[in-house]
Amino acid sequence: MATVDSTVRAGAPVAPGADVGPPAPAGVGPYRLGLRRLRRNKAALAFGLLFLVIVVLCLCAPIYANDVAHTGPNANHVTDTVKVGGVTKDVVGPTGEPIGPTWQGRFFLGADQNGRDIAVRLLYGGRNSLEVGAIATLITMTLATLVGIVAGFFRGFVDGVLARILDLIWAYPVVLLGIALGTSLALGGISLGPLHLQGNSLLVPALIIGVVYIPYVAKPIRGQVLGLREQEFVDAARVGGAGPLRIMWSEILPNVSSTIVVFVPLMVANAILLEAALSYLGAGVQPLNPSWGTMISDGIRLIPSAMHLTFVPGIMLVLAVLGINVFGDGVRDALDPRAKVRLEEHAEEASR
């Protein structure tokens, strides 16, 4: 699968009806073939669409908050009342139990014990969960690709040092590392050169999750690069006078790109799950910022009196992660029917 051809683009349009018929004609790149296979996988497309719908809904959170619910994610309405079907009800009852779903503009999915609108918090929380997931995935993929390619290409001493660092992160219990870092950073924030992060910044959990997953992606990429560097086209480039940087960028990177593409959805799913786990243990997204994880953990203690506090964000989280997992499964099958990507083997530690 040597994709030296730089004209191959992932989003290339496929002619209508091209997905049926005889084997692909010569000159069709692997991404176009993959796209064709993916288009035939209706289940994967449906779940991918589900995830997309959730993303769009969450992005529209401010619109919903302003125009439908008329409240913010952190606005308290403890002493307010709301009219449901002509009957006036307390948002938070005299014994402290919050109102359940009203299925109308205000408190569509009910309120929490502070009288905050669950539907508004759900959308804002989803924004935060997805943001953490996206940034963490970006960090993981960038660093893991860099480490994997450099370690595999140079081998020897560089590989030795990088492999030891990866082993260290690998052997460190993931959740323990996450909560240790999360607790310490949530208290003090972190300074990275000119960039200073407050303890309650979303970037803190994103950074932790991103770092924790690096070995799971870097190791397979390194393995692939070890094989690629011995191929003839790398020799050809070297003979042509290309330096190591150029070879890594324009010969090696395009050839590991399908592995990278396959990992992205799986990483997003795992990052969202780890965010929820860390938030449940108090080491993830910090209060005032809602996230699906913090909403679930706030609700768990109140399941007997107000189930919706746990179930609403819980179902949303499972749907989003399921959507991207099924879609990712389809992408993997489409890009390489005999894929050897086994991220799930290890990344499950996130939610143990």
Please count the residues of the chain: 352
Contact segment (CB under 8 A) with another protein among 124-132, 139-147, 222-230, 301-309 equals 301-309
Residues 86-105: x where in contact with another protein by CB under 8 A, - otherwise, as a string: --------------------
Q: Which of residues 204-243 bind another protein (CB under 8 A)?
A: none
Residue 102 CA: distances (Å) to CA of 81, 98, 250, 310, 313: 12, 11, 57, 16, 16
Alpha-carbon distance 199 to 208, whole Å?
Answer: 12
**DSSP code string of 217-248:** HHHHHHHHHHHHTTSHHHHHHHHTT--HHHHI
CB of 310 to another protein, least distance (A): 7
Which of residues 119, 247, 276, 309 is near another protein by CB under 8 A?
A: 276
Which of residues 321, 331, 334, 335 is near another protein by CB under 8 A?
A: 321
Mark out the alpha helices in 112-228 (DSSP H runs).
Answer: 118-154, 156-171, 174-188, 203-212, 214-228
Query: Which CB sits closer to another protein, 65 or 271?
Result: 271
SS (H, E, C) 20-64: CCCCCCCCCCHHHHHHHHHHHCHHHHHHHHHHHHHHHHHHCHHHH
Alpha-carbon distance 347 to 263, whole Å?
Answer: 11
Alpha-carbon distance 242 to 252, whole Å?
Answer: 12
CB 152 within 8 A of CB 227: no
Residues 146-165: x where in contact with another protein by CB under 8 A, - otherwise, as a string: -----------------xx-
Query: Which CB sits closer to another protein, 181 or 256?
Result: 181
Which of residues 58, 61, 256, 269 is near another protein by CB under 8 A?
A: 269
CB of 124 to another protein, least distance (A): 19
Q: Is 87 helix (H, G, I), strand (E, B) or coil?
A: strand
* Residue 304 engages another protein in binding (rule: CB under 8 A): yes
Residues 323-342: x where in contact with another protein by CB under 8 A, - otherwise, as a string: --xx--x--------xx--x
* Residue 42 engages another protein in binding (rule: CB under 8 A): no
* Residue 316 engages another protein in binding (rule: CB under 8 A): no
Which of residues 15, 20, 56, 171 is near another protein by CB under 8 A?
A: 171
Alpha-carbon distance 26 to 29, whole Å?
Answer: 9
Which of residues 180, 197, 242, 253 is near another protein by CB under 8 A?
A: 180
* Residue 283 engages another protein in binding (rule: CB under 8 A): yes
Alpha-carbon distance 133 to 250, whole Å?
Answer: 29
Q: Among residues 126, 215, 141, which one has the least CA distance to residue 177?
A: 215
* Residue 172 engages another protein in binding (rule: CB under 8 A): yes
Q: Is 304 helix (H, G, I), strand (E, B) or coil?
A: coil
Find the radius of gyration of the CA atoms of the chain. 24
Q: How many residues bind another protein (CB under 8 A)?
A: 54
Which of residues 150, 175, 212, 331 is near another protein by CB under 8 A?
A: 175
* Residue 128 engages another protein in binding (rule: CB under 8 A): no
* Residue 63 engages another protein in binding (rule: CB under 8 A): no
Query: Which CB sits closer to another protein, 247 or 285?
Result: 285
Alpha-carbon distance 170 to 154, whole Å?
Answer: 22
Interface residues with another protein (CB under 8 A) are 163-164, 167-168, 170-177, 179-181, 183-184, 187-188, 269, 273, 276-277, 280-283, 293, 296-297, 300, 303-304, 307, 310-311, 314, 317-318, 321-322, 325-326, 329, 338-339, 342, 344-346, 348-349, 351-352
